[in-house]
Each structure stands twice: as C-alpha cells, then as structure tokens.
Amino acid sequence: MMQSLTAPAGSDLSAAPKAVRWIPKPEVPVSPVLSLAALLSGDDRAVASVVDVGRPLFLTAGRMAIAQALRIMGVAPGDKVLLPAYHCAAMVEPLSLVGAEAVFYRLRENLTVDMDDIAAKVDGRVRVLIATNYFGFPNSLTRIRAFCDDHGLKFLEDCAHSLFGTHDGRPLGSFGHYAIASATKFFPVRDGGCLVSAAHPETLAPVRLRRQPPLAQVRQVFDTVEEAVTYGRLPLFALPIALAKLGKVPLRWVRGNAPRPPAATNPGLMRAGVPGEFDGSWVDVKGTWVSARICRAASRRRIARRRRRNFQTLVDAFSGYQGFRPLFTELPEGVVPYMFPLEVNDLETSFPRLEDAAVPMQRFGQFPWPGVTAETCPVSNRYSRRLVQFPCHQELTEAEMQTIIERVLRVLEGTRP
C-alpha cells in the first residue's frame, strides 16, 4: 500500500487529492525494473542517444544536471530562465542553486514551444531557454536553436523524457548548447542523470565530481535487486533478498547510513512549489557505479524496439473512444517514447478510481509552480489537469500490458461509439 500525497501549499489544488487515503500499490512496474534480459547487450550504437552527443557528466539525477548546466553557463542572481508552463518541480527547483528567476512560456497543443510567446518574453535579463522533448517526442528543435542563437540565449535541451532518438537525422540532445537526460526513466536504475554539451564540450571538462561512498553503492545494488524481486523478476534472488530482510539490523543500518540521491522515480507525485527543497549538495556528486554499469550494459536496440511496440499497442487500445484520447497517435521514425500520455476529460474524478484499480501510472505537471495559471498557458493548464501517463517501458510483459489496458478501460468505461 502506498500513501497518496496531499497537495503542497501554494500549488494548484484542483487536481490533487484532498485528503490522505490508502491506495493499492500496482503490481505492474511503472518504471523499468531489473531483469536478466536488461543486461544482455551486444548491439549497439545503432540507436542514437544523448550520451553520444559529447562526453557526458554522469550525475545522480536529471535535476542535478540542470543545476550543473546553469552554473556552467554562468547564470547568476537576477538572470531569468525561460521554462515551459507545463513542467514538474524538478525542472524549476534547480534555478534556486544559481538564484535565477523562472519565466514560464506557452506551449502549443502538440507540446511544442509557442515561438511567438517566447519572442514576447525575451528581455535583457533572459539568459537561458529550457525546452523539453515531452514523452520522447522532439520539440521544434531547429527553430528553438535558431531563436536562441539570434537572441544570444543558451538553449538547454531537456531530454529527461528522450534519452534516445533522433530528429531530422540528428540525435536528440545535439540541438541544445547543453542537454540533460534522466537515467531512471529509461533504465532499471534508481539514480542517474547526465549532462552533455555539443556546443561547448570544453566547459564540462573542468567539472570534478565526488564519488559516492561504498555504502551508497551497496544500497543501490540491494534496492535495485529488491525492487526487481518485488515485481517477480530475478527469481534466483528472491531467497537471498528475503534472508537479507530477515537480518533486519544490518539492512536497516545500510539503509539508515547510506546517503539517498535525490532522484524521483515518480515526478508526477512530487511535491511542487515548496521553495528550498532543492538540495544543492548533490550537484557535484557522481551517479552510482551500479547505475552507470547497468546503463552501459543495457541493450539500446531492445529498449527502443520494445518501447515503440508497447506504445503502439496502447495507441491501438485507447484510440477511437469518447471521453479520452491518446495525446500522440503517430509514432514517427526515431522516437523512443518515455510513457504513453492519455488526455482524459474527467480525470479529476477518474484518477482516484484508476488509483483504486491499481493502474500503474504517473502524472506530469499536476502541481504547477506557484503563480502558473490558466492565464499563463491554457494548454498547459488543461494538460496538467487532464493528462495521465501509462508505462510503455521495455520490461513490461504482454500480460502486464493487457492488465493495464483492461483496468484502464474498465475504469474509464471505454466503449467505442
């Protein structure tokens, strides 16, 4: 069982649960979990990745990569950073490290940047524009880069949802002056984020990162394997994990003493708009060794192929209904999706019912930063209230995909007109 979160003070309360209640934990994993197949590589530079764009810095989370990028770019108090009105707190909080002010811009229905709006918002204090390839789908990257070059801004390409993929024949992450990615969304790992720069690779070279202590590495191994066992993977480890849990004292000691990296595997439920939550002490810390190993070992081709297949299965399953619609019905060549976003007209009432049905899902942008309203961007406001995302990751079995589809259709009473 997990506890539903109440909304933080100052955030948009309209879509948030009103009180604490208990909801069942989905038995289908919402994020990739470790399997033997996940570690069988053998291919595979055939699938483009952000990490190939330049020599990456491997940090603990995507948000730490954003903070590190802002610092490297020399953003300072009084400077402004342009951010999309559809966001999670992890994209905004890093600004506090450098004391920059967030200015939120509008998006279009397909979640690409509203170029007229950013043109209206640029002034002498804006230094950086952050644009996201939502759910793995490329933004208007060439136009954004040209705009930034014309206005003397740095473009930070947010590839947290698009660790893999291409656009116009170029790898995602190569359009921005800098790009960040998030490992936990694509690999069976519990920490990891990266920062690359196609335009200024020399600025990353002097950054020195601290290694995490051995205890933190041990903890990551244990937590990664334990999570896999919880979801019925790695059956050979079930007994050792159970025995380790019996030895509660050493386990509690490792857990209590190992530093916990700030990566969130469930950004949709993260508390937003609580100033000061960003822990800048993690900005110069390396991601764990075990995460780096798993990321390197995993087969990119398997990830891309299975995610695309699962995404297409969900498009087919959820298209043609009244009351809800897939945000993206086409899966262009080169896209490796993060999750499958569905717009549900009455999500406010159906979300708790989806929770009760133990549907694995996340919401993104549910708690906009204080001050971001429907007036800031009507499209973002609508999506923050109506979009829910279901997993399409590489570790889902066919039976698990069917479970997701059946539960969602049962709750949303999906009958095709």
Ligand X SMILES: Cc1ncc(COP(=O)(O)O)c(C=O)c1O
- In 231-274, alpha helices (H): 238-246, 248-257
Q: At residue 71, what is the residue type?
A: R
**DSSP β-ladder status, 80-84 and 57-59:** unpaired
Locate 294 and state its tokens.
């798993």
In angstroms, what CA-CA distances link 317 with 313, 336, 395? 6, 19, 19
Are the C-beta atoms of 138 and 165 separated by less than 8 Å?
yes
Which CB sits closer to ligand X, 189 or 229?
189
Q: Which of residues 214-243 bind ligand X (CB under 6 A)?
A: none
Q: At residue 167, what is the residue type?
A: H
Which CB sits closer to ligand X, 90 or 148?
90
Which CB sits closer to ligand X, 161 or 407?
161
Which CB sits closer to ligand X, 262 or 407?
262
Site string for ligand X, 74-113 (x = CB under 6 A): --------------x-xx----------------------
| Cα–Cα distance, 304 to 393 (Å, whole number) | 9
Which CB sits closer to ligand X, 184 or 394?
184
Site string for ligand X, 145-164 (x = CB under 6 A): -------------x-xx---
Q: Which of residues 259-278 bind ligand X (CB under 6 A)?
A: 263-264, 267
127 binds ligand X (CB under 6 A): no
Shortest Å distance, C-beta 373 to ligand X: 20
Shortest Å distance, C-beta 414 to ligand X: 27
In angstroms, what CA-CA distances link 185 with 27, 145, 161, 192? 18, 25, 7, 9
CA end-to-end span of the chain, whole Å? 36
Site string for ligand X, 14-53 (x = CB under 6 A): ----------------------------------------
Locate 75 and state its tokens.
């953003």
Query: For residue 71, which phi and psi values (nearest 5 degrees)?
Result: -65, -45
Which CB sits closer to ligand X, 366 or 376?
366
Shortest Å distance, C-beta 35 to ligand X: 21
| Cα–Cα distance, 279 to 329 (Å, whole number) | 38
Are the C-beta atoms of 236 and 38 separated by less than 8 Å?
no
Which CB sits closer to ligand X, 136 or 334?
136
| Cα–Cα distance, 3 to 23 (Å, whole number) | 6
Describe the chain by its helix, strand, coil percentages, rounded to 5: 40, 15, 45
Question: Of 57-65, 246-254, 309-317, 328-336, which part binds ligand X (CB under 6 A)?
Answer: 57-65
| Cα–Cα distance, 87 to 180 (Å, whole number) | 15
Site string for ligand X, 180-219 (x = CB under 6 A): --x-x--------x--------------------------
Return the ∠ at Cα 369 (arms to 364 and 370), rounded to 5°.
145
Which of 7, 63, 318, 403 is in the footprint of ligand X by CB under 6 A? 63
Shortest Å distance, C-beta 278 to ligand X: 10
Shortest Å distance, C-beta 59 to ligand X: 9
Which CB sits closer to ligand X, 132 or 166?
132
Residues that bind ligand X (CB under 6 A): 61-63, 88, 90-91, 132, 158, 160-161, 182, 184, 193, 263-264, 267
